[in-house]
Amino acid sequence: MPVFTDRQRGILAMLCSCGGWVAGRDLAEATGTSRRTLQSDIKSINLTAGRLLIRSNNRLGYCLAGNMPEVAAPRAVVPQGRYSTSKALLLVLLFESDYLHIEELADRLFVSRSTVNAHLAQARRIVARNREAQLVVSPRRGLWIEAQEDTKRLLCAKLMNEDLDYAAMLRMPQMEELSHLEKELQDLLPQILLNEKILISGQAFQYLTRFLAISITRSRLGMGMPEIPEEEPASSSFICELSRQVQQHVGYLFSAAERQLIRERVHELNLIDKRPVRDGEILHMLAGFEKAVQEQCGLPLHFRPELRRNLGDHIKRMQRRILSRHNNIGQYTQEMFTQYPLTVHLIKTCLEPLMGLEIPDAEVGYLVMYVACAMEELWKKVNVLLVSDASAAVLYTIQQKIRSRDKGQIGRIEVLPCYAYEQDRQRYLARNQVHLTTEPDLSLEATDFLSLSAFPSDIQLEQVRRAIENQSERQRREQQAYMARAYPVVTNPGGCRFYEQQLLPRLTNGQRNLSAVTVGNNLLCVVEHESGGACELQYFTMEQAVHYKGKRITGLLYAAYRGHEDPLVFFAYVRSVLQKNSR
């Protein structure tokens, strides 16, 4: 049975769902890889499968060559990923009752001592994000994580998010119970959640089951929580039912301190079934955010009622996590920053001041998706002209059928009878990019008109969809070509001087119109907005590495929006530059 990586499984899943040819550009974007990485992965997939599993074509792209084989899920002893070694060494330390020498830690992880030392900086950053926690390094005694037991349990739940053999990795046979516990809880929790009318995301469900399994395992290993007075009888019905079911099926009784900790985590979970947000402070904050974006960047941002409800609920729970330092772990951080630079900048400069606290990068990675939904509606759409002498009922039906195939690219559909169109042809043609008609004579006279019947077929509607898509792509290419001519990106020396003299003082003083995020481990992106003057986009190399939030920065991208361009177009160009320089 072939074993593929997570990224390769994503490629296969995408091809399976499409059921035909997929362009290389679309497949790379959907799976979050570059075209070159995609080609390497597909070559590796075919080699692993032992046959031609994915067929390629220079013109059409990629498609499956046959039926999908049964695929085994990958398992590894050491976590794979960006911070794998750092996470692994922290997990070993979290299940130790005393200091552990670096030599023994390296031996447990099957790595060298220098490898452990190389990942200590990242390990410190991970630990420091948690409440009153720090990684202690003693030259004589070794390493130790200093934190309260509740913080250690939360940290374990964040780190242990992969399908791993922890008993083998930590060389602790007692840990074999963890996977069995988690499986029992995954069978037990759904019915309890549904009975209590709690519907959480799949990611939150996975986190909750892992957290409960870790709590039980640590207590059984002698790492219990300090005792507190018994809680009041009027406890949460969900916590009471959970405790009863766990005691009955797992044979473990949660202590009062554990029930209190579980209740706090449940209040912070990401819900799917949202209820209207009645918190006046949060609603006022969202209205202020819309106003700030309009005043500072000229963007008429507006949250639809459903989106406002979901965003308000997320902010309310996010505030709880941030204030208690239990924020989510960042799983999509780099992807979000490179995909949505404008959205991240607006959150940092317009929302954070209203909240009165700094939103951790990990939380921004989730929050950005809600704001991005509202931002999508601000993009310039393709306007459609429909010239027809058909009845109003026919025209309405044609419009609805066209919009049913829309992928968010259609702006206005302007419907005109022939006599009105004849009065001012050039004006109507100029302000609409795609031209349709049900009148055969007009389509024969003007070749840029697409002909439709009064009852358009699927083939005709597909032609319209392709025409709109092609026009949207043409607009995007023209905008990007213009931006590349107006703001050519050249690599400039003197990055250290520019950073230390121009940017660092303003970042230190917390200047409201300036934001900075790290992309990966080595690139710092600083974005600024103000009114008046020409926009600016520069890429600097550092003569010597500088440190920003614990990361070693060797490249700096500075983007300044000053109102001279459409902000959406300018930041779409920034996004393409970011993606190119972060690979």
Rounded distance, CA 102 to CA 143, Å?
Answer: 7
pTM over 0.85: no
pLDDT above 70 as % of the chain: 92
Q: Using the predicted structure, report yes or no on whether residue 434 has a pLDDT greater than 90.
A: yes
HEC assignment per residue over 106-166: HHHHCCCHHHHHHCHHHHHHHHHCCCCCEEEEECCCEEEEECCHHHHHHHHHHHCCCCECH
CB atoms within 10 A of CB 100: 18
Find which of 285-294, 406-415, 510-519 is predicted with most confidence, using mean pLDDT: 285-294
**In the predicted model, what is the mean pLDDT of the chain?**
86
Chain segment 467-506, per-residue pLDDT in tens: 999 999 999 999 999 999 999 988 888 889 999 898 988 8
For the chain, give the percent of residues with pLDDT over 90. 38
Number of H helices, E strands in the chain: 27, 13
| 454 pLDDT above the threshold of 90 | no
**Among 494, 490, 489, which Cα is nearest to 543's?**
494
User: Phi and psi (nearest 5°) for 177?
Assistant: -70, -25
Identify the pLDDT of residue 277.
66
β-strands 514-519, 523-529 pairing: antiparallel
Question: Residue 463 is which amino acid?
Answer: Q
Q: Which of 31-45, 227-241, 303-317, 371-385 has the lowest mean pLDDT?
A: 227-241
**pLDDT, tens digit (0-9, with 9 covering 90-100), for 193-220:** 888 888 888 878 888 999 999 999 999 9
Residues 524-559 have pLDDT tens digits of 999 999 888 889 999 999 989 888 877 889 999 999
Residue 42 corresponds to which amino acid? I
Question: d(Cα 190, Cα 186) in Å, to the nearest integer?
Answer: 7
